[in-house]
Amino acid sequence: MKVLFLLCACISILSVVVICIFLFAGGFPAITEIGFFEFLFGTTWRPTAGQYGILTMIVGSIYVTAGAIIVGVPLGILAAVFLAYYCPPALYRILKPAVELLAGIPSIVYGFFALVVIVPAVRGLFGGSGMGILTASLLLGLMILPTIVGVSESALRALPKSYYEGALALGATHEKSIFFTCIPAAKSGIFAGVILGVGRAIGETMAVVMIAGNSPIFPSSVISQVRTLTANVIMEMGYATGLHKEALIATGTVLFVFIMIINISFSLLKNSADRKERRKKKKERKQMKVHAVKKGGDAA
């Protein structure tokens, strides 16, 4: 079994390495030919005229992903708290499978749902075509909910009951015990769920193509149409040739680096929080030790 587990781990690592080699080997020649700054900071994407600037699509991806985080992360964490600490058993047997079912719905179905429900609602409330950043953010926030809810709930349920019971014993209310003791203790698992959810939001393609508007321009408001990096690749890869095709592969390389930066940023944030917590606990232990020594001296 050790050999089998080692083989599976090596295959997983090798797959990531092969993907990295393919992306960078296929993307860097195009970036070099186009020009690094012209490619990343150019504002015009017009392959027929030899213009391959993807800055507008980078900004569009950032806006849509940020909107999905604003919508999905708070809802996901609060839903996980409800399922773990508030939900009655009879209702839990209905809600838990329903949340898991959301993860299995194809992207194209989410896209149709947004076209029929979200797009007309946004059009009626804010005007415009109804397609843009706000619509895509709302849909992606909904799509990342199952991942965040599932992982966060598992992290909360994995905590020892002594955390919650100890907080209650010290006089904290039910809500304070959850939000000031249990959630901070489960932050590693919750961060993992958020990272997985953000990864899906960045990489989502089909649903975004259907509702984002796909205009490679700088957005001027939350209802402006945008084109994301993933949408740009899937819309033009079918007929692209030569430098155009290489530029699309380079776009995928930029997206890959973008996801790595976000994951590393979350990891650094998590590690920083863990170090701060360890320093706090170390300081508290030191103060308790000093207090115990002082109390012993007073007794003597």
Report residue 214 as tokens.
């796909």
- The per-residue pLDDT for 293 is 64
As beta bridge partners, residue 45 has 52
- Three-class SS string for 57-117? HHHHHHHHHHHHHHHHHHHHHHHHHHHHHHCCHHHHHHHHHHHHHHHCCCHHHHHHHHHHH
The neighbour count for residue 189, using CB atoms within 10 Å, is: 19
- The per-residue pLDDT for 291 is 67
Segments in the chain below pLDDT 70: 290-300
Residue 22's Cβ-side half-sphere holds a number of Cα atoms within 13 Å equal to 9
Tell me the per-residue pLDDT of 183-227, one tens digit each, with 9 for 90 and over.
988 888 888 888 888 888 888 888 888 888 888 888 888 888 888
The neighbour count for residue 79, using CB atoms within 10 Å, is: 20
Distance CA 84, CA 75 (A): 14
Radius of gyration of the chain (CA): 24
Distance CA 257, CA 24 (A): 10
- The per-residue pLDDT for 28 is 85
Contact status, residue 136 vs residue 63, Cβ threshold 8 Å = no
Per-position DSSP letters for 273-289, written without gaps between them: HHHHHHHHHHHHHHHHH
Beta strand spans in the chain (E): 45-46, 51-52
Residue 182's Cβ-side half-sphere holds a number of Cα atoms within 13 Å equal to 31
Distance CA 173, CA 175 (A): 5
Domains in the chain, start-ordered, CATH in brackets? 20-275 (1.10.3720.10)
As beta bridge partners, residue 226 has 213
Q: Where do the H-state alpha helices sit in 35-54?
A: 36-41
Distance CA 17, CA 65 (A): 26
Distance CA 233, CA 243 (A): 13
Q: C-alpha angle 124/116/131, rounded to 5°?
A: 55
Report residue 43 as tokens.
């504002």
